[in-house]
Amino acid sequence: MKTFKVALAGLDGQVIPDWVPKRLAEEKIAFVAKECHTREELAEFAADADVVWLFGGSKILHGNLDVLPRCGAIIRTGSGTDNVPVKDATRLHMVVANTPESLNDAVAEHAIGLMLAVIRQIALQDRKVRSGLWDRYEGFPRWHLHGQTLGLVGFGRIARSVAKRMRGFEMNMIAFDPYVSAAVFAEYSVKQVKLEDLLASSDFVSLHCPLTEATRHLIREPQLKLMKPTSVLVNTSRGPVVDEAALISALTQGWISAAGLDVLDPEPPAPNNPLLKMENVVITPHLSGFSDLFLPENWRLSVESVLDLFHGKWPRSYVNPEVTPRWSLKAR
């Protein structure tokens, strides 16, 4: 019987904790790791792997799944799977697992943090004070939360965490997500609405949808023009969910009032990107999922997914439930 093999083909600059290979060795799972940059490297390294693992955003699998004839599952450490060819993997009977639980709370907290940073003008005030200007009317807060409407675009785990935390601000909460049942909306006391209605009625719009063909440039000029001129857009999902040129127009022409952005398109931004010079924009470098728990939890949940697959179980989280897996899998 062939040894079950796991090939970590994308490390994203991370150092593998000592306990990871030891834990897999306890189960007699063969484990190899190498940052693969080319199709040829991937074929040589992982052609006989049962599981191919990407820790982070490597795009090495795009167009290269045919060099992995034995692969039955792909693990993408992290939440988004836009760097994995999910449709092709599904067609080839590969389960695509991820580890969203490692960053749900952190992203939710960061989205709220961006919202507060914009509302209270914290970043702008900090820059003014550091430059020697002590004037409370420079960067005077122009928004408030109590009684306002928060619109969540996407109502998965992270958006639900946002809703749970924002309840204390006594906001009206609405959300758009065609893939979530009415029962889930009711559980969180969030009203389900159409996207157009959400944009038109929200004072704050927070984006929490994955990047797919359907969501690329989901927010573009027509959508931004639906929003209130006093509204704030927060994006902690993926940069290409928003048409950045349209967003720049919206912010400069007053279609919306301000934005808090953890993601851009492209990343990093060009030095002459107009967003970098706007005082009504707060930007962070795609780190909303990071915290002191981020790396330990990502390693733990990734190894847990490997062990589930090795023992013939569905992993805790996977993004292609329609797949017919190469192996017979049972519930965890």
Domain ranges in the chain? Answer: 5-102+292-310, 104-283
pLDDT at position 90 is 98
- Give the residue numbers annotated as catalytic, written as ranges: 238, 267, 286
Q: What is the pLDDT of residue 114?
A: 98
CATH number corresponding to 5-102+292-310: 3.40.50.720
Residues 33-73 have pLDDT tens digits of: 999 999 999 999 999 999 999 998 999 999 999 999 999 99
266 alpha carbon, distance to own chain's centre? 15
pLDDT computed for residue 9 by the predictor: 98
Tens digit of each residue's pLDDT (9 = 90 or more) over 226-277: 999 999 999 999 999 999 999 999 999 999 999 999 999 999 999 999 999 9
Q: How confident is the model at residue 138 (pLDDT cuts 50, 70, 90)?
A: confident
What residue type is assigned to position 60 of the chain? I
For residue 56, what pLDDT is reported? Answer: 87
CATH superfamily of 104-283: NAD(P)-binding Rossmann-like Domain (3.40.50.720)
What average pLDDT does the structure give for the chain? Answer: 96
| Distance between CA atoms of residues 309 and 272, nearest Å | 47
Residues 234, 265: Cα–Cα separation, whole Å: 14
Span 131-137, average pLDDT: 93
Question: 189-204 pLDDT, tens per residue?
Answer: 999 999 999 999 999 9
Please list the alpha-helical segments (H only) found in the chain: 19-26, 39-46, 86-91, 104-119, 122-130, 157-166, 182-187, 195-201, 221-226, 244-253, 294-310
Walk across the sheet containing 73-77 and list its strands: 30-33, 5-10, 51-55, 73-77, 95-98
Name, in order, each residue with C-beta under 8 angstroms of 283's C-beta and a sequence gap of 6 or more: 261, 262, 264, 269, 275, 276
Mean pLDDT of 97-115: 95
**pLDDT value, residue 53:** 98
- List the structure tokens of 100: 């969203």
The whole-number average pLDDT for the span 219-227 is 98
pLDDT at residue 113 above 90? Answer: yes
Q: What is the pTM of this model?
A: 0.87
Q: Which phi and psi (to 5°) does residue 90 adopt?
A: -60, -45
Report pLDDT for 305.
98
Tell me which residue has tokens 């799944």: 65
Give residue for tokens 């009032």. Answer: 257
pLDDT at 285 over 80: yes
**Would you tell me how many other CB atoms lie within 10 Å of the CB of residue 41?**
16
Q: How confident is the model at residue 80 (pLDDT cuts 50, 70, 90)?
A: confident
Q: Reply yes or no on whether the pLDDT at 29 is more than 70.
A: yes
The CA-atom distances, in angstroms, between 212 and each of 2, 87, 299 are: 36, 11, 25
Contact 139, 124 (CB under 8 A): yes
Check pLDDT > 70 for residue 1. no
